[in-house]
Structure 1
Amino acid sequence: MKHLKLLAAILLVTSVVQAQTAPPSDAITIQQELKKLDVLGSVLYVAAHPDDENTRLLAYLALEKHYRTGYLALTRGDGGQNLIGNEQSELLGLIRTQELLAARRVDGAEQFFSRANDFGFSKGPEETLKIWDHEKVLGDAVWVIRNFRPDIIICRFTTTGEGGHGHHTSSAIIAQEAFAAAADPKRFPEQLKYTQVWQAKRLLVNGANFGGANTEGPFKISTGAYNAVLGKGYGEVSADSRSNHKTQGFGSAKQRGDATETFRIILGDAPKTDLMDGVNTTWSRVKGGEGISAEIATIRKNLDIDHPEKSVPALVALLTKVEAISDPYWKEQKTKGLKDLIAACAGLWFEAYAPQATYAVGEEISVRTQVVLRSDIDVKIFTIGYNRDLSPFTMFPTEPIKNANSDFSVEAPILANTPKDFNDKIKADEVTQPYWLKYPHGVGLYETGYLDKNDKDGDVGQKTLPENIPYSAWITFKILGKNIQFERPIQYKYVDPAKGEIYQPLVIAPPVTANIVNKDYVFNTQQTQTVQIKMQAFTKAAGSISLKPVAGWKISPEKIDFDQAKGAEWLASFIITPADSKQKVSTLQAVVKTGGKEWNLGIQRILYDHVPAITLFPPAETKLINIDLKTAGKKIGYVAGAGDLVPEALMQVGYEVHQLTEADIMNADLSVYDAIVTGVRAYNVNPRLAVMQPRLLDYVNKGGNLVVQYNNNNGIVVNPGPYPFRPVNQRVTDENAAVTFLDPTNPVLNYPNKITQADFEGWIQERGLYFVSNIDPKYKTILQMNDPGEQPNPGSLIVGDYGKGRFIYTSLAFFRELPAGVPGAYRLFVNLLSKPR
């Protein structure tokens, strides 16, 4: 019985995580939810990344057919590029997670992930599945299937490679294997302590055209219907959903009118007339469901949209019947929907919020729970309690919880349209670190400590969810004499003078955070550098900050004591000196000692208007990089592109970097710059570069040095160079690929640093992307490289003289290598900036 309660708990976790302060209660939502109440069917869509999902199909399945619909993205999109900022890797994955949740709030589906890390472009599934750890990612997919219990599973991609990306193909392979493994008790038996085996009816691939590779299938459905309740067709809903993928520049036009989706059967029997052929999606599929559909039909027929509270008695009676059905899965799904319907129809609004954004671990959080009843339905408060026990055994209690500190009496009445507040305090017990970032991880897989064969139970409740289970208030109302319990996440609420009322996630921080000012410290002599640490106290705290000793480096002082009030911010400074030239790259860690504990976390906030505020606590560490590096020139002009951290990296090695505006380029004296650099994808994202380009080429012609970093092959506003070439979708993804020097005497390989093969050691993620072809003979190709089994590619770095100056185009991934502190990448990029006089 305990495990059945656990299973029910897991099935509801997603709705908790995605919950807003209060679910919508408008007439559209009420009518849509009444329709969904009468459908017992579920569909899981599987692909690799954020943006891979077919939002029109998801919207059609969730909002037209009213199936429980989910999207399993195996990765969070960490390895892509960011078109709206400079966040990369895990930070980009955090933003894209929230973009997916925003998309799901539009199209009505739910969101899941595996532990797989998007490590960058992969040319085949063999590489992908090896890096990911095939068995663990498969286990995550099986876990989702066993708990979500889809009647059918749909893949976006095929196992035969038409998707063009190793992650895409791998997602289809994983889905196909998981289809069978989820039903096999011998596969991942450790999961069966918490869940049950599940056999989906069929697995299909959703047809598409991938750059000419057509995967369309013979079975077709129309998804272009118009939903009169929503006032939109699913092509319009789809565009609204997809346009949330802003980091990828996926703003989409709304399509209206008929549209067709095609499918091909992979496993199971082929559908003949409907995707759900052979699946009972009515209440007759569950024992005890007799008569429920008829009652729902009566409620829908009698719904007075101007007075939905008239339907509350029938909905409360129906809830009692649904609670009596024997199927734990559908009982939990439908009771949750029914409870929200009852609250919406009764005009019962309630939320829980805190008066400040951030608290320290161990502090008391003041929580205000506010309730308003906007009808004359008989509703009383029964209990209010708080729970963030991450064990699913108690995540969804069957008995009402009550906080002993609550300031109300049992069965406190609620007066119509009269707000009532309840004030309580709870303890902040754990840092709100995104659960997949709690532990160090490798290239291919996040370590979450959950449910591997040799694991303890761990934090099973959050496994594969998009974000952490929140601190929550649990409110039990007595509605027409029946106890009905609801959950509301505790959020921070405030009023912005320009934007109005704002809700943001509640943040629990360490007592003191330590942010080392620079991500890297680059040394190229025996000189000392000052490492500054920005300290912040989230509670009154006394203790010390120190840097862990590192072989080959001298650190002074040994520690710095502090005694600070809550809210204080201050700087701590340490002197670092290289003591051993053999130590090329070392990790420096800060340690805060306070309250008898050690903490080594910083704090970072990511703020964009289209997603909730994101707060994480990265390790308080930096890299010490000892490089044999010579520089020439001093002043660099930088033209921003899609967002990168190259300017900060250049400042680390002593360059004076000026961010150039259009006015600067058009009117200022560009000859003062030793080099001008354009950021990644600048010629894709800035249409004004077509206007600025003649001035940039004039700068080169008069003796300047222009370095253009990679651009996508689609949508370049103007040829970046003085002579023709063409970026194409070719790359070298093996970061250890052999590099051949085609022009070893060229200055970019010799001045001011002599580049050797050692400078291509330690690169991360890839060598380069969007190499160039159709290269005019006036350019010199400098390097050649290739992935295994492919032809050598000379398109990663080209150099051309133009007038008195030099033009360089590079597809090498400097935007990844420099922030990662790769010594050879620094040496080579400095050479690109250094035109011999």
Structure 2
Amino acid sequence: MARFFYLLILFALLFICPFRNADATPVAVGDSGFVVMNLAAHPDDEDGATLATYAKLRHAKAYSVFYTRGEGGQNEIGAELYDELGNLREKETREASLIQGSEPVFLGFNDFGFSKTAKETFQVWGGKDAVLKRIVFEIRALRPDVIFTNHDTVTVSPGRQHGHHQAVGITAFEAFEKAADSSYAPEQFRMGVGPWQVKKLFYRRFRPATGEQLVSIDASAKDAGGRTIEEIALDALAKHRSQGMDRINRATIPAVFRQRNYILTRSDKIYPKSETDFLAGLTPEVRTPLKTNENMYAADASLRTPPTVAKANPALVKVSPQAFIGLVKTYDNTLEETLQSYGVKFALIDSAMLASGDLSKYSAIVLDLRAYLYRTDLVKYNSRVLDYIKQGGHVTASYHKPGEWKPEYAPYPIAITGERVTEETAAVKVLSPKHRLMTTPNQIRPEDWNGWVQERSIYLPAADTLRTSPMYERLLTMSDESESQPATSLLWARYGKGTYTYISLALYRQLKIYNVGALKLFFNCLSQRDENRRK
């Protein structure tokens, strides 16, 4: 990722562009006169139930402030990525906000993918002080009585959240004091804002410690129409379709996520204790918060787009001329477009083919991203895919998330974890340099790991051989700095007369930009049937 470029542009936007239109017209606060603000790193990170409680039952003005638009995530309903995905998630968020009664505000920081540390997040976002000034301005402009967030300041394992979440928690804590300090960022006062003292700051406690004084939000309370707050919040959450939230089984949501327990982290003075109300002891103030300038960050859209890379010269990558690929396609178009771009003969495998078609005509079968979640027909007829391998075929399976995968989907057990290698420049060691996936028909060289974007590997299979069978050869090892991830990003095994490959590398992101190394590895996976026949 070209972080230096991002930093230069981000600094320019933060200090050249005004944070908000100084001539913006006032917007009306809720009938109660109170203002509450929820801080979230990404769309769907907000606490919709608490926002709905204060907007619909307490008639407060409720803001949900998002540091990013979520453009670095995975799209579970289509092929949009990066800026296109950000546009989609912003639209989904606005639809959700209409249901829960909140007003969304987007700060425009770059969602560069999963991060493990606040340190990395602040570096990419232009520095901690730049991020702090941005949220301080928002507080001064919107003037909330109470701020609450699902995120916290824990930066070490166990218990740490996503690095973006850590950055939100850290800047929320510091902004509580800085927003009221007239000596901090005084240049903002020329933009129509002034110092503002938030009264209370709350962090959510998903697993409260014994004896903690908590404020609990009653999600069973009903609005004037008779709907519970939980129902409203879940309806809002379901709007985040690109994150799969419309498929949530409401009956099986763990209790830890149904409970809304918060701890008072900072306050400007001592207030009466309450176990049910953020606003206990507060008096509403007269204020005219500024309306968000929603177009302010339109200029930084390029920050969310990966480097533009020309299609790799076909002479640089090889694929077996006899290849005829069967693709079990899901929601993403990347694998299909890659095959089309390089003239590889392929066919989409439909339910009828899985059920009773002649799979042996395919030189290899590729299972697209998260195929066992999106293709229920694949789950139903998986035994036929395993028989295809046993008879001499080759299957390459793309990554899956833990909850949607069963060990028996593979020829030998594979257990999926939440582990990932987020540093796209992490050193890669090839454990079996002479293995066919590293040599045939393309020789994988050290430079082929250069130029990757966003991350190396996601949802790695478990390291221990009790959960992930020792029948699989571990072909690669890589880890984030100062960490040790399992050597399971590329697994390969013989099964009967054929072979099976499981890839948890973030290969689709690299194929999207025609990364030569990723193309070589992908085409090596497609060219194994010829090798199987030679054995």
The TM-score normalised by the length of structure 1 is: 0.55
Report the equivalent of 1:349.
none
User: What is the deviation of 1:217?
Assistant: 4.7
Distance in 2 between residues matched to 1:668 and 1:104, nearest whole Å: 47
SS in 1 for 2:409: coil
163, 166, 169: which one aligns with 1:166: 163
Distance in 2 between residues matched to 1:254 and 1:764, nearest whole Å: 35
Distance in 2 between residues matched to 1:92 and 1:741, nearest whole Å: 33
Q: Is the 8 A contact 2:149 2:202 kept in 1?
A: yes
Report the equivalent of 1:737.
426
Identity across the alignment (%):
31
Distance in 1 between residues matched to 2:216 and 2:471, nearest whole Å: 54
Deviations along 1:211-266, whole A, 9 cap, x unmatched? xx979952223423543522211111111111111111113456899x75322122
Q: Taking structure 1 as reference, are residues 11 and 730 closer, same or farther at Cα in structure 2, changes over 3 Å only?
A: farther
User: What is the deviation of 1:676?
Assistant: 0.9
Q: Taking structure 1 as reference, are residues 437 and 696 closer, same or farther at Cα in structure 2, changes over 3 Å only?
A: farther
Q: Taking structure 1 as reference, are residues 178 and 793 closer, same or farther at Cα in structure 2, changes over 3 Å only?
A: same
365, 368, 376: which one aligns with 1:687: 376
Q: Is 1:825 aligned to residue 514 of structure 2?
A: no
Report the equivalent of 1:265.
264
- For 1:157, the aligned partner's letter is H
How do 1:739-778 and structure 2 match up within 5 A? 739-773=428-462, 774-778=467-471
Report the equivalent of 1:611.
none
SS in 2 for 1:808: strand
SS in 1 for 2:492: strand
Distance in 2 between residues matched to 1:8 and 1:279, nearest whole Å: 30
Query: Which is worse superposed, 754-763 or 136-145?
Result: 136-145
Deviations along 1:319-342, whole A, 9 cap, x unmatched? xxxxxxxx544xx89xxxxxxxxx
Report the equivalent of 1:97.
90
Report the equivalent of 2:488.
795
User: What is the deviation of 1:124?
Assistant: 1.3
Report the equivalent of 2:3.
none
User: What is the deviation of 1:8?
Assistant: 7.0
User: What is the deviation of 1:140?
Assistant: 2.1
150, 159, 169: which one aligns with 2:144: 150
SS in 2 for 1:765: coil
Deviations along 1:178-225, whole A, 9 cap, x unmatched? 22222223333232112222111121112224xxx9799522234235
Report the equivalent of 2:501.
808
685, 691, 697: which one aligns with 2:386: 697
Q: Which runs of 5+ in 2 are unaligned?
A: 1-17
Deviations along 1:796-837, whole A, 9 cap, x unmatched? 001011111110000011110001121110011111111124
Q: Is the 8 A contact 2:42 2:67 kept in 1?
A: yes
Report the equivalent of 2:103.
110
- For 2:198, the aligned partner's letter is A
131, 135, 154: which one aligns with 2:124: 131
Distance in 2 between residues matched to 1:709 and 1:135, nearest whole Å: 40
Name whichever structure is richer in helix by fraction.
Answer: 2
Report the equivalent of 2:7.
none
Q: Is 1:521 aligned to residue 524 of structure 2?
A: no
Q: Taking structure 1 as reference, are residues 635 and 744 closer, same or farther at Cα in structure 2, changes over 3 Å only?
A: same
The TM-score normalised by the length of structure 2 is: 0.85
SS in 1 for 2:154: coil
Q: Is 1:279 aligned to residue 282 of structure 2?
A: yes
Distance in 2 between residues matched to 1:215 and 1:143, nearest whole Å: 36
Q: Is 1:68 aligned to residue 61 of structure 2?
A: yes
Q: Taking structure 1 as reference, are residues 270 and 707 closer, same or farther at Cα in structure 2, changes over 3 Å only?
A: farther
SS in 2 for 1:154: strand
Report the equivalent of 2:115.
122
Distance in 1 between residues matched to 2:117 and 2:209, nearest whole Å: 18
Distance in 1 between residues matched to 2:77 and 2:210, nearest whole Å: 32
SS in 2 for 1:697: helix
Q: Which runs of 5+ in 1 are unaligned?
A: 16-32, 287-326, 334-389, 393-432, 446-517, 526-626
Report the equivalent of 1:203.
201
User: What is the deviation of 1:644?
Assistant: 4.2
Distance in 1 between residues matched to 2:421 and 2:278, nearest whole Å: 40
User: What is the deviation of 1:716?
Assistant: 1.8
Distance in 2 between residues matched to 1:676 and 1:115, nearest whole Å: 41
Report the equivalent of 2:189.
192
67, 70, 74: which one aligns with 1:77: 70
Report the equivalent of 1:241.
236
Q: Is 1:663 aligned to residue 352 of structure 2?
A: yes
Distance in 2 between residues matched to 1:644 and 1:58, nearest whole Å: 36
Deviations along 1:700-754, whole A, 9 cap, x unmatched? 1111110000000112256331111211111111111111111111100000011
Distance in 2 between residues matched to 1:148 and 1:215, nearest whole Å: 35
Distance in 2 between residues matched to 1:708 and 1:117, nearest whole Å: 30
Report how many residues are paired. 493
- For 2:36, the aligned partner's letter is V
Q: Taking structure 1 as reference, are residues 780 and 221 closer, same or farther at Cα in structure 2, changes over 3 Å only?
A: closer
Indicate the structure (1 or 2) with the bigger Cα radius of gyration. 1
Q: Is the 8 A contact 2:354 2:377 kept in 1?
A: no
Distance in 1 between residues matched to 2:393 and 2:319, nearest whole Å: 20
Deviations along 1:26-59, whole A, 9 cap, x unmatched? xxxxxxx9xx43x111011112111111111110
Q: Taking structure 1 as reference, are residues 437 and 666 closer, same or farther at Cα in structure 2, changes over 3 Å only?
A: farther
How do 1:492-511 and structure 2 match up within 5 A? none
User: What is the deviation of 1:628?
Assistant: 4.7
Deviations along 1:455-513, whole A, 9 cap, x unmatched? xxxxxxxxxxxxxxxxxxxxxxxxxxxxxxxxxxxxxxxxxxxxxxxxxxxxxxxxxxx
SS in 2 for 1:221: strand
Report the equivalent of 2:42.
49
User: What is the deviation of 1:524?
Assistant: 2.6
Deviations along 1:679-698, whole A, 9 cap, x unmatched? 11112333332212111111
User: What is the deviation of 1:177?
Assistant: 2.0
- For 2:444, the aligned partner's letter is I
Q: Taking structure 1 as reference, are residues 656 and 216 closer, same or farther at Cα in structure 2, changes over 3 Å only?
A: farther
Q: Is the 8 A contact 2:40 2:66 kept in 1?
A: yes
Deviations along 1:524-562, whole A, 9 cap, x unmatched? 33xxxxxxxxxxxxxxxxxxxxxxxxxxxxxxxxxxxxx
RMSD (Å) for aligned C-alpha atoms? 2.9
Q: Taking structure 1 as reference, are residues 632 and 214 closer, same or farther at Cα in structure 2, changes over 3 Å only?
A: farther
Q: Is the 8 A contact 2:312 2:515 kept in 1?
A: no
Q: Taking structure 1 as reference, are residues 147 and 740 closer, same or farther at Cα in structure 2, changes over 3 Å only?
A: same
Runs of 4+ with deviation above 6 angstroms: 213-216
How do 1:251-650 and structure 2 match up within 5 A? 251=246, 252=248, 261-268=260-267, 269=269, 271=271, 272-273=273-274, 274-281=277-284, 285-286=285-286, 327-329=287-289, 436-439=297-300, 441-442=302-303, 521-525=311-315, 627-629=316-318, 631-650=320-339
Distance in 1 between residues matched to 2:478 and 2:402, nearest whole Å: 19
Q: Is 1:9 aligned to residue 7 of structure 2?
A: no
Distance in 2 between residues matched to 1:658 and 1:734, nearest whole Å: 34
Q: Taking structure 1 as reference, are residues 214 and 520 closer, same or farther at Cα in structure 2, changes over 3 Å only?
A: farther
Distance in 2 between residues matched to 1:82 and 1:792, nearest whole Å: 25
Q: Taking structure 1 as reference, are residues 11 and 629 closer, same or farther at Cα in structure 2, changes over 3 Å only?
A: farther
- For 2:61, the aligned partner's letter is R
Q: Taking structure 1 as reference, are residues 764 and 153 closer, same or farther at Cα in structure 2, changes over 3 Å only?
A: same
Q: Is the 8 A contact 1:235 1:254 kept in 2?
A: no
379, 393, 399: which one aligns with 1:710: 399
Distance in 2 between residues matched to 1:160 and 1:757, nearest whole Å: 36
SS in 2 for 1:699: helix
Query: Higher relative contact order at CA 8 Å, sep ≥6: structure 1 or structure 2?
Result: 2
Report the equivalent of 2:5.
none
